[in-house]
Structure 1
Amino acid sequence: MQISNCGYGLVKQLVSQKKEVNLKQCFKSILQDLLCDRFDAYFFSKKCCHVKAQIEFEFTVHASGVLQLEESNTSLNLFKSALQELPEHIKLLKHPSRVFFFAKTDIQPLGGLIVVNKVNNTDAIALSDNEEGLILHLLEVYFLQLKLLHSSAVDPLSQLLNRQSFEQQLTGIIQSESYLQTKKVRSESRWFLAMLDIDHFKKVNDNFGHVIGDEVIVLVSQLLKSHFRFDDLLFRYGGEEFAILFSTESAELAWKLLDRARELVANTRFPQVNHVTMSVGFIQVSADFQLSELVDNADKALYFSKDNGRNQVTNYQQLNIEPHVISDCDIELF
């Protein structure tokens, strides 16, 4: 491996990736090329940017055969154990049989890599200093690019995910539901889409100004983030409207979770405005609906809440609305 010749090209490959899934696959391919059949490698990362997110096993470059679940768990425990004992300024830790690479900011670890000599290969060549330096640099570039991708998916005011990422995430969930439906696999948890809207928000802007209106959006966003799990997906859909994608066991539990969020907002004292309420509508995500239909139906439940007194949660499936069947005469070509 010609380190001096390939380093720039490998960095260029990573920073050219515009989607997280492509970035991860690119990094995995780079590791496969670098390590060839000499080493096994285990990669770990936080699943999201939330401060409570835990470092989890992501993938392996496995030269010695098929990875067993116990092996991935063991490697993750080894990594976490080493991370806890690691001095703040250290990013590389060598052991006789493995090398730990760590990526971290000043305040928290982001993830890292364990590289292990190939199993049952006593003649395995140790990583050179140049190889170690390159892998450490590529790891830092990976997480920097990941941060940039996350930043592009975040609404700058609310610090929630933005509408573009909403459509991408919901599309992925619909596809996964379609796959499970095709394979006739029944999952214990179900995905739900909720649309939330701040009641009488125009009056807030008219009476207190847009600066206070922005503060209301920020505080509502913080309350929602504190209420939902870090692996639930929270979005600022537009203006004073929010969207949440979350999983739970039943529609009843989904309603309770959303109603507690509604109650949390209603019981919070907002600066100058004092009290704010939210109306909520939700629907279970199903492969039977297209993305636009899911959003439209969740919106119908939301506006049912608004039309019937506001500050409440409505399940679309309980409205007993007949599905609209699209006929040829409904389609306008011009």
Structure 2
Amino acid sequence: MNALVQGLAALGGLRDRDTLDTELVRLVVRHAGLGVTRAELIRVLGDGDEQRYLALATMRHDQDQPTHDVLWSDWTQLPHLMDFPLRVRAFEKGRAVQEDQPAPVAVLPMGTRDGLRILLEVTSAKPLSPRRVDLLQSVLLAYQNLLGLLDYGERDSLTELLNRKTFDGAFFKATADNSSTPPEGVDERRESGRIAGGVWLAVLDIDHFKRVNDTYGHLIGDEVLLLLARLMRNNFRFYDQLYRFGGEEFVVLMRCDDASHAEIALERLRRRVSDFAFPQVGSITVSIGVSQLLPNDTPSSAFGRADKAVYYAKEHGRNRLCNYQLLVAEGHLTEQAADEMDVDLF
């Protein structure tokens, strides 16, 4: 029990979600004192018959390090939740469920305020007693509380998109995952399902947003920001990372096969925004600039390129999408050295 308490205390000092996930399953396998032979932390994605799962962390008792699925995974390669009846039961009932064949397995569900759906599946040498299930539920509750604290520090208070201070870490993680060599700890079962191609950074800026605030007031302006954030969530995939950088400026970090796929997603958002009837305000448009991440890129350089594309869009009619690399190739912009493009993001 002392090892479990010490392990929970150590979890409280973690500030990285991936590390928190892996250390949770390590704690359950190594220190829970439950005879656990395998633990897997699962995120449920999608709805209805298209519900699938992504393994956030998996560990067997004979492993030194947990493994995990790559976040940038092809949706069609993720397993269907319905193929795992015990997980479906736990998810639907909202409480822990167990079965003893072919080996004792318990599945415990967890929900968070933003709709994140997580399951902890534990395989053990013997069936878990109700007291031991309660112990695991307490561990999962501590994990849930830690996620809530991370959310508080990482989310924009108005839109609940990721905030600016989390961008650098996500940027370098995305560029590391973009290498041809799978990162250590990746679950090789679905390594072939990783999204190929590259990573793109897009900057979105609401056109004439100051006019909205001046005409309708800041409460209506905040409502516009909230509704735009909702349109963004509905437009992009579960692993695309959405940020509010402050004011009317938003950022998307996305992995795509090629530039055309990135532009299709961004153009779809641009149209949805322009077609949406914002209460009291009516029509709102956005200007979007996008740039592919380059080898040895930095957050400031990548942001600077996309931002230049936004300025070009605003100077040439607004309500349009501009690709920085294409603008340079066509002679509309001049390629600049990275140190000339550095901007102070913080």
**TM-score class, shorter:** 0.7 to 0.9
| Range with greater deviation from structure 2 (247-256 or 108-117) | 108-117
Take 2:277 and 2:97, find their aligned partners in 1: how far apart are those partners?
A: 48
Instruction: Decide which of 24, 28, 34 is 2:25's aligned counterpart.
Output: 28
Take 1:275 and 1:322, find their aligned partners in 2: how far apart are those partners?
A: 34
| Structure 1 stretches lacking a partner, 5+ long | 118-124
What secondary structure sits across from 1:319 in the alignment?
A: helix
1:277 aligns with 2:285: yes
Take 1:79 and 1:64, find their aligned partners in 2: how far apart are those partners?
A: 26
Once the two structures are TM-superposed, the CA of residue 296 in structure 1 deviates from its matched residue by 0.4
TM-score normalized with structure 2 length: 0.77
CA shift in 2, pair 1:209/1:76, >3 Å: closer
Does structure 2 retain, via aligned residues, the 8 Å contact 1:194–1:281? yes
Superimposed CA distance per residue, residues 110-147 of structure 1 (whole angstroms, 9 cap, x where no aligned partner): 21122133xxxxxxx66566544323321222233123
Q: Give the corresponding residue for 2:71.
A: none
Q: Give the corresponding residue for 1:215.
A: 223
| Structure 2 stretches lacking a partner, 5+ long | 69-76, 183-193, 329-333
What secondary structure sits across from 1:16 in the alignment?
A: coil
Take 1:203 and 1:111, find their aligned partners in 2: how far apart are those partners?
A: 46
Superimposed CA distance per residue, residues 242-274 of structure 1 (whole angstroms, 9 cap, x where no aligned partner): 000112211122112211111110111111111
1:12-23 alignment runs, 5 A limit:
12-23=9-20
Q: Give the corresponding residue for 1:91.
A: 96
How many residues in Structure 1 have an aligned counterpart in Structure 2?
A: 311
Q: Give the corresponding residue for 1:256.
A: 264
Once the two structures are TM-superposed, the CA of residue 31 in structure 1 deviates from its matched residue by 2.5
| Range with greater deviation from structure 2 (214-223 or 129-138) | 129-138
Instruction: Decide which of 237, 240, 245 is 2:253's aligned counterpart.
Output: 245
Does structure 1 retain, via aligned residues, the 8 Å contact 2:4–2:31? no
Superimposed CA distance per residue, residues 141-165 of structure 1 (whole angstroms, 9 cap, x where no aligned partner): 2233123313321112112111112
What secondary structure sits across from 1:41 in the alignment?
A: strand
Does structure 2 retain, via aligned residues, the 8 Å contact 1:196–1:242? yes
Q: Give the corresponding residue for 1:112.
A: 120
Does structure 2 retain, via aligned residues, the 8 Å contact 1:193–1:246? yes
One-letter identity of the residue aligned with 1:82 = L
Q: Give the corresponding residue for 1:142.
A: 143
| Range with greater deviation from structure 2 (14-23 or 261-270) | 14-23
Does structure 1 retain, via aligned residues, the 8 Å contact 2:21–2:56? no
Q: Give the corresponding residue for 2:7.
A: 10
What secondary structure sits across from 1:205 in the alignment?
A: helix
Take 2:139 and 2:67, find their aligned partners in 1: how far apart are those partners?
A: 27
What secondary structure sits across from 1:275 in the alignment?
A: coil
| Range with greater deviation from structure 2 (78-87 or 241-250) | 78-87
Structure number with greater Rg is 1
| Range with greater deviation from structure 2 (29-38 or 200-209) | 29-38
Instruction: Decide which of 56, 59, 70 is 2:57's aligned counterpart.
Output: 59
Take 1:171 and 1:53, find their aligned partners in 2: how far apart are those partners?
A: 30
TM-score normalized with structure 1 length: 0.80
Q: Give the corresponding residue for 1:81.
A: 85
CA shift in 2, pair 1:35/1:12, >3 Å: closer
Does structure 2 retain, via aligned residues, the 8 Å contact 1:177–1:286? no
What secondary structure sits across from 2:272 in the alignment?
A: helix
One-letter identity of the residue aligned with 2:138 = H
Q: Give the corresponding residue for 2:159.
A: 158
What secondary structure sits across from 1:287 in the alignment?
A: coil
Q: Give the corresponding residue for 1:303.
A: 311
Residue identity over aligned pairs, in percent, reads 27
| Range with greater deviation from structure 2 (100-109 or 248-257) | 100-109
